[in-house]
Amino acid sequence: MTDSSIRTTKGRGRRFDSVLDTIGDTPVIRVNNLGPDHVAIYVKAEAFNPAASVKDRLAVNIIEAAERDGRLKPGQTVVEATSGNTGIGLAMVCAQKGYPLVVTMAESFSIERRRLMRMLGAKVVLTPKAEKGFGMYKKAEELAEANGWFLAHQFETRDNADIHAATTAQEILGDFEGEALDYVVTGYGTGGTVTGLGRVLREARPETKIVLSEPANAALLGSGHAQERTDEGAPAVSHPAFEPHPIQGWTPDFIPLVLQEAVDKGYYDDLIPVTGPDGIKAARDLAAKEGIFTGVSGGATFAVSLQIAEKAAPGSVILCMLPDTGERYMTTPLFEGIGEDMNKEEQAISASTPGYRLG
174: exposed, middle or buried (Cβ count in 10 Å: 0-12, 13-18, 19+): exposed
Distance, CA of 61 to CA of 234 (rounded, Å): 20
What does the alpha-carbon distance between residue 99 and residue 76 come to, in Å, rounded to a whole number? Answer: 6
Task: Report phi then psi at 134, rounded to 5.
Answer: -60, -35
CA–CA gap between residue 195 and residue 345 (Å, rounded): 48
For the chain, how are helix, strand and coil distributed in percent, rounded to 5?
40, 15, 45
Amino acid letter, 47: A
Asked if 197 and 186 touch (Cβ cutoff 8 Å), the reply is yes
Count of positions (residues) in the chain: 359
Distance (Å, whole) CA 239 – CA 221: 10
The span from the CA of 102 to the CA of 49, in Å, is 22
Q: Burial, 307: exposed, middle or buried (Cβ in 10 Å; 0-12, 13-18, 19+)? A: middle
Q: In whole angstroms, what separates CA 338 from the centre of its chain?
A: 23
Name the active-site residue from 110, 213, 297, 316: 297
55 assigned to active site? yes
Question: CA–CA separation, 289 vs 91, rounded Å?
Answer: 33
Find the catalytic residue in 44, 55, 132, 139.
Answer: 55
Q: What are phi and psi of 85, to 5 degrees?
A: -65, -40
User: What is the widest separation between alpha-carbon atoms in the chain?
Assistant: 73
Nearest to 207 by CA among 233, 184, 240, 234: 184
Catalytic: 297? yes
Parallel, antiparallel, or unpaired for β 40-45 and 183-186?
Answer: unpaired
- Beta strand pairing call for 40-45 and 78-81: unpaired
Which residues are catalytically annotated?
Answer: 55, 297
